[in-house]
Amino acid sequence: MSSATASEGTLSIGEIRTGLLGHSSQLSMAETVRLLDLVPGEQVRHAAYPRAYAVSPQRLAGIDCFMPSRSGRHVRGVGTFATRATLTGGLIVQTCSHTTLVPSSRQYRREWSHYLATPGVVEYLGRLRLDDAAEGFAQAENGHLNIEMGRTAESTVFNLQRSRLLDGKQPLHAPLGRWRWALQPVRDNGDPGLYRFTVLPEGTRLIRLAVVWPDVSDLLDLVEDLALHDWLLDFVSRQIERARPGSGDLDRTLQHIGPVIDHLLHHWMPKARVQPGLYGLWDAFDRFQGLTRQWDLTINRIRDHVALNSLRLVLRTESEWSGLG
């Protein structure tokens, strides 16, 4: 399926959900391909290096609704949005629903065959203020979304979780991470392009970017990679807090930290699937949010805590053996 091309006068928007598969261990690549075979006749793309990764073919959904807006403007749009699922390391699942808003050459609704010819594109009928649409979708807490792509992204996760390939035994109970994003093409002015990043009270992340990049599929890889690492950092940090380091309860510590070490820590690999030309955007976000600094502190905290508890266990064992002597 061809990808939409970002250009001035367009706006790409989407929603991402990130979580863990309901399975006790990492899926093999063959199992991953079977799980992500969502569209008959289309291939699942996959790679083993630098880490196991696979992406499903995209499913389309038709829409005819008002466009996003901060101000509440009513501009009609007709077309399709696309949804894809990815699996990283055979365990971390992401779903992304997205579309690109472009001006229509006609001021009336056309037959569906016209819109199906350009999958993942919505043509807006009338004058759309792109800044207003971008802010309404991915910056303003009380913006008018109008396009409900998040529900499709979420239902895709739930459908995957019901697969017979999965045993339903999650090693960790992780909530879904929610990202909503807007990418607006701009002329190259030397700025990496990070506009605004906001975390809503209920946890949804909003990110608005200005980009100098024509390929929407590359931009999807970038935003999914950002969402993946943000989710990893947030979840691992929460697990450490649940473990209550320093409480003296070794069993509690191992219950929460052990599965994190076994299943998640090795997935931290920033920019592994990002095009080199977009590294600047990833690095700008990293500097802005301090992801890598926080991750390094978190990992050091885990290692120090495990080492300390190991030392305590050794000393306790030596003391018990001394008592027996």
Is 50 exceeded by the pLDDT of residue 2?
no
Q: Is residue 191 very low, low, confident or very high in pLDDT (cuts 50, 70, 90)?
A: low
Percent of the chain with pLDDT over 70: 87
The reported pLDDT for the residue numbered 114 is 96
Q: Is residue 193 very low, low, confident or very high in pLDDT (cuts 50, 70, 90)?
A: low
Q: Work out the mean pLDDT of the chain and round it to a whole number.
A: 88
CA 206 to chain centre: 12
The two structure tokens encoding residue 25: 């261990």
The reported pLDDT for the residue numbered 3 is 55
pLDDT in tens, 84-134: 999 999 999 999 999 999 999 998 899 999 999 999 999 999 999 999 999
By CB atoms closer than 10 A (0-12, 13-18, 19+), residue 105 is: exposed
Separation between Cα atoms, residue 143 and residue 147, nearest integer Å: 12
123 forms beta bridges with 78, 102
The reported pLDDT for the residue numbered 189 is 62
Between β-strands 205-211 and 76-88, what pairing exists: parallel, antiparallel or unpaired?
Answer: unpaired
- Among 6-15, 86-95, 148-157, which stretch is predicted with the lowest mean pLDDT? 6-15
The reported pLDDT for the residue numbered 317 is 72
pLDDT in tens, 220-257: 999 999 999 999 999 999 888 877 666 556 666 777 78
**Does residue 94 contact residue 224 with C-beta atoms inside 8 Å?**
yes
**To the nearest 10°, the Cα dihedral for 297, 298, 300, 306?**
160
Question: What value, to the nearest 5°, has the Cα angle with vertex 49 and ends 48 and 50?
Answer: 140
Q: What spatial distance separates the first Cα and last Cα of the chain, rounded to whole Å? A: 74
Separation between Cα atoms, residue 147 and residue 98, nearest integer Å: 10
Is 60 exceeded by the pLDDT of residue 43?
yes
Separation between Cα atoms, residue 176 and residue 89, nearest integer Å: 17
The two structure tokens encoding residue 174: 């992780």
Smallest CA-to-CA distance from 15 within 118, 156, 202, 127 is with: 156
Is 70 exceeded by the pLDDT of residue 323?
no
- Among 67-71, 159-163, 249-253, 272-276, which stretch is predicted with the lowest mean pLDDT? 249-253
pLDDT in tens, 260-317: 888 899 999 999 999 998 998 899 899 989 999 999 998 888 877 777 766 666 776 7
Torsion over CA: 106, 109, 110, 112 (sign): positive
Q: Is residue 31 very low, low, confident or very high in pLDDT (cuts 50, 70, 90)?
A: very high
Separation between Cα atoms, residue 232 and residue 249, nearest integer Å: 25
Smallest CA-to-CA distance from 211 within 132, 134, 289 is with: 134
Residue 115 phi, psi dihedral angles, 5° rounding = -75, -35
